[in-house]
Amino acid sequence: MPTNTYESPLSSRYASDEMLYLFSADKKFTTWRRLWVALARAEMELGLPVTQEQVDELEAHINDIDYEKAAQWEKKLRHDVMAHVHTYGELCPKAMPIIHLGATSCYVGDNTDVILMREGLELVRRKLVRVIAKLAKFADENKALPTLGFTHFQAAQLVTVGKRATLWMNELLMDLEEVEYRISTLKLLGSKGTTGTQASFLELFEGDHEKVKELEAKIAREMGFDAVVPVSGQTYSRKMDYNVVSTLAGIAQSASKFATDMRLLCHLKEVEEPFEKNQIGSSAMPYKRNPMRCERICSLARYVIVDVGNPAVTTATQWFERTLDDSANKRLSVPEAFLAVDAILNIMENVASGLIVHPKVIEKHVLEELPFMASENIMMDAVKRGGDRQELHERIRVLSQEAGRNVKDLGLSNNLIDLIAADPAFGMTKEELSAHMEPSAYIGRCPQQVEEFLKECVAPVLERYQDALTDKETELKV
């Protein structure tokens, strides 16, 4: 790695090799050449003066790209597409006269961008499925483990550790639906020409509209697409970029929610992210176990969420059939969003694979708050014994305030049960009151909800994408 030039941390520290390849020069420019082959083949099949020999020559040289020569041509021509036309043509002298025939730069540029976005979403989909699978295992293992629920980060009714994990998974399933929708609806630009009128192709085919339409249908099929955009200017609508990056930002939102919850749970010492044997939590405080992986998820997620603004503004400011102020921006905003989400999912899978639960700490926190939560059941029991509901409600309110002061002001344990046992209005012994102190009695349908969710919502997804579950987990670079 060069040390005297800037390099994106997404490349050197965070993103996986497979996502980096998707947005590499090799992938981009070999896709350009595949598109030129598809164009030449379709033109030949539809009767233009393109020979099989020329198509074969183009196909034979898809992968041997001379980047130094391309850079020389671009310096001379100040045009990246024409630089690569000439570079390709030098390798394919017989085909040189028909490379890019009738096309404009966006034929290779925009069509390639759509292809890369679709392949990027397919990779994201596989990683999403793997994260969901890891969380599903965690949820099932902990479906009946009572834990404090929180509203406003204040102790509320009990939930279970596994039930909380279903909340994370549910949002990821929503994201997966969005990814699937984007993949299914992405269309190629096709061969639309300089202002989207296909005038150059209509001229080549001597006014035959059906051949012009069949040309881009053939190209789409060869590139693995069912359809092309129905109308365009020179470019496809930049709303396509916005929609894709928005989908990625949705994943970032869900991941950040998960990671934020994990950071809070780590503070509570209830659930922690993996911590390796030789990992250092702090350069100054050797005892620390900072949730650095979840913090990194939040950090990268913030970038992706903000990045949505780029294609949004680009879409809003395109002039008529096209301007070029989209180009430099989309070279950054779209690939970087993919690289960042790839990194987020890599880290999230790593964390979800090794979550550390501390049941004794969880139980301690539950028991500290359980007397308050049990108060309604205690009151009902006392009413059955002949007590006055309104009087008992007031007594519990007063005693709860006293117990709360003991905890908050004096640092003592929650003694609400002792206070109730000492109050003759209730007529209950401490042993009788303790019967109300079983946490599992306060988790409602949590275990059943987890089981139903995993069976009805998660299992069909894992079955549909079971091949993704055999992928090796991406090793974190740092």
- CB 404, CB 413: distance < 8 Å: no
Token readout for 56 is 């074969």
Give exposure, 443-473, as e/b (b: 16+ Cβ within 10 Å).
Answer: beebbebbbebbeeebeebbeebeebeeeee
HSE-CB at 16 with a 13 A cutoff on CA atoms is 20
Q: What's the CA gap between 457 and 473, in Å, rounded?
A: 23
Question: Which helix H or strand E contains 160, and what residues bound it?
Answer: strand 154-160
Q: Please give the DSSP secondary-structure letter assigned to residue 471.
A: S
3-state secondary structure of 154: strand
Q: What's the CA gap between 452 and 463, in Å, rounded?
A: 16
Q: Please give the DSSP secondary-structure letter assigned to residue 62.
A: S
HSE-CB at 101 with a 13 A cutoff on CA atoms is 23
CA torsion, points 397, 399, 405, 407, in degrees to nearest 10? -110
Question: Which helix H or strand E contains 272, and what residues bound it?
Answer: strand 271-272
Q: What's the CA gap between 89 and 209, in Å, rounded?
A: 29
Q: Please give the DSSP secondary-structure letter assigned to residue 204.
A: H
Token readout for 116 is 């890369």
- CB 99, CB 89: distance < 8 Å: yes
Strands 146-151 and 356-357: unpaired
Token readout for 257 is 């929610």
- CB 304, CB 246: distance < 8 Å: no
Q: Which residues are catalytic?
A: 152, 282
* Residue 35: exposure state from Cβ atoms within 10 A (0-12, 13-18, ≥19): buried
3-state secondary structure of 442: helix
Give exposure, 200-223, as e/b (b: 16+ Cβ within 10 Å).
Answer: bbbebbeeeeebbbebbbbbbeeb
Token readout for 70 is 């391309």
Q: Please name the residue that has the structure tokens 């100054």.
A: 284
